[in-house]
């Protein structure tokens, strides 16, 4: 099927005489008789709705239902099902059906459209009746249109959808949802269907809709949640099957060994949210809940002249300035040397003389192997420290360099989760650790604030990451020299 308009459609309209009148039954039959799986498990074979998918269709397209929300973990075929329902709407929906597929951005919305387009290509009877444009599908025989759109309020105005599919509601803002609901509901029969994994925070429009659905007071609202039992163990495979119907249904298209592999490389709250369908706090947080507290050793005293590494992350006013130490050796211990935080005064500036004095005291008190400094805004002080304490002992360590920061971030994460590092229990450092969110990059995770300009500071956490990384370097260097000397 070539891209672009196909010209005049000459094929006769499909005959649906004798088909059941019910919305759900018509769509189930269309999918069964006309659609082919476009890719993945069962590619090239007829699209057979599993039991859980039929439950979704029958619940969402039940009489009088206007809004449906399906909360389901990843990899359970939600995008494929959305594409199938979108195509069914074009042919067995109301006259002049308009299907809008709304996703986080245009690229994501186009994924669902590509599935729908490929389903058309795989059935000659559909292919000769659908015009394919770069940005939409059109069925001229009944003036039906399928259109993918980004989740932006401006893109949603001016439409009259019979079916509006929202892919991944968990990242949709309240403003977008208001635009969605203002676009829908104009026809005698229409449906807004949101299919999504749970949001990363209860502070979301999705959670408000889940609460609304759980109340059970709105007959026009359908809610279906697929989730593991609260408090289940991460490796409880029965819980996996309860949360993931694609894993437990006849002819499953999700594999247990795949989930097991994901578990090994995914933080607990993220696995619970995306793979177990659970509502958790901290899904975007860097550290697993409670992990930092587990490695507290407030009774550990760093002795005078003990060999340590210092890490410095500075600011001028808005952010905080942190000086964190880490002992060098097989049992690294993190401790706060100094932390200067803006109390909320716009006129406040970091007391640079106090910071300089703290650095001097640390060099006097401990055997400092190295002071690693983020150079932004403090270059003159760093040069003075290097002149005072030695250029080989005071180095620049740019925390914006992902090639260095990502492995260092992973080092502290692994050390905490395997309990091979301890810390002094400083509540301020604990808060900075808790404020960190993880941003995935090709090089690994980086820690960032929860949002740009957030008052939730992370500078002490960044200094702790650098301190442990450099302490590990010096521990390794010391061990290598000891081994070389023994030969």
What pLDDT was estimated at residue 176? 83
What pLDDT was estimated at residue 192? 95
What pLDDT was estimated at residue 281? 61
Fold category of 23-226 in CATH: Rossmann fold (3.40.50)
Q: Where are the domains of the chain?
A: 23-226, 291-483
Fold category of 291-483 in CATH: Nucleotidyltransferase; domain 5 (3.30.420)
What pLDDT was estimated at residue 412? 96
What pLDDT was estimated at residue 7? 62
Cβ atoms of 340 and 357 within 8 Å: the answer is no
pTM of the model: 0.62
The parts of the chain modelled with pLDDT lower than 50 are: 1-5, 481-487
What pLDDT was estimated at residue 3? 44
What pLDDT was estimated at residue 318? 66
What pLDDT was estimated at residue 430? 92
Q: Measuring CA to CA, which residue among 184, 225, 273, 227 is closest to residue 55?
A: 225
């Amino acid at each position: 099927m070539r891209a672009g308009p196909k010209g005049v459609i000459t094929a006769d309209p499909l005959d649906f005489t004798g088909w059941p009148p019910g919305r759900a039954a018509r769509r189930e039959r269309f999918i069964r008789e006309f659609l082919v799986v476009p890719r993945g498990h069962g590619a090239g074979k007829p699209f057979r709705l599993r039991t859980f998918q039929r439950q979704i269709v029958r619940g969402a397209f039940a009489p009088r239902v206007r809004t449906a929300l399906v909360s389901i973990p990843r990899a359970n075929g939600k995008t494929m099902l959305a594409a199938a329902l979108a195509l069914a709407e074009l042919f067995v929906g109301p006259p002049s059906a308009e299907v809008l597929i709304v996703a986080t951005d245009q690229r994501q919305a186009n994924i669902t459209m590509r599935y729908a387009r490929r389903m058309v290509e795989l059935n000659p009877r559909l292919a000769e009746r659908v015009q394919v444009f770069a940005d939409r599908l059109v069925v001229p025989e009944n003036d039906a249109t399928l259109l993918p759109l980004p989740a932006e309020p401006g893109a949603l105005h001016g439409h009259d959808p019979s079916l509006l599919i929202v892919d991944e509601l968990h990242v949709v803002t309240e403003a977008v949802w208001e635009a969605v609901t203002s676009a829908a509901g104009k026809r005698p029969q229409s449906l807004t269907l949101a299919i999504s994994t749970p949001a990363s925070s209860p502070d979301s429009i999705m959670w408000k809709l889940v609460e609304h659905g759980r109340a059970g007071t709105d007959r026009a609202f359908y809610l279906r949640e697929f989730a593991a039992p609260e408090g289940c163990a991460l490796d409880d495979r029965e819980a996996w099957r309860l949360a993931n119907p694609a894993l437990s249904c006849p002819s499953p298209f999700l594999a247990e060994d795949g989930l097991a592999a994901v578990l090994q490389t995914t933080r607990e709250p993220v696995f619970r949210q995306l793979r177990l369908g659970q509502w958790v706090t901290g899904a975007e947080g860097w550290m697993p809940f409670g992990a930092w507290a587990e490695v507290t050793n407030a009774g550990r005293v760093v002795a005078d002249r003990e060999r340590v590494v210092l890490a410095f992350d500075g600011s001028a006013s808005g952010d905080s300035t942190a000086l964190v130490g880490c002992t060098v050796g097989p049992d690294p211990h993190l401790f706060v040397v100094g932390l200067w935080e803006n109390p909320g005064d716009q006129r406040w500036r970091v007391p640079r003389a106090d910071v300089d004095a703290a650095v001097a005291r640390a060099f006097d008190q401990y055997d400092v192997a190295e002071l690693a400094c983020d150079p932004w805004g403090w270059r003159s002080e760093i040069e003075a420290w290097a002149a005072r304490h030695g250029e080989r002992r005071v180095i620049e360590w740019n925390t914006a360099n992902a090639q260095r920061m990502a492995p260092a971030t992973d080092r502290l994460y692994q050390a905490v989760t395997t309990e091979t590092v301890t810390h002094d229990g400083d509540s301020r450092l604990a808060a900075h650790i808790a404020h960190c969110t993880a941003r995935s990059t090709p090089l690994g995770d980086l820690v960032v604030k929860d949002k740009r300009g957030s008052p939730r500071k992370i500078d002490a956490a960044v200094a702790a990451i650098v301190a442990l990384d450099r302490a590990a370097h010096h521990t390794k260097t010391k061990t290598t020299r000891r081994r070389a000397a023994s030969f």
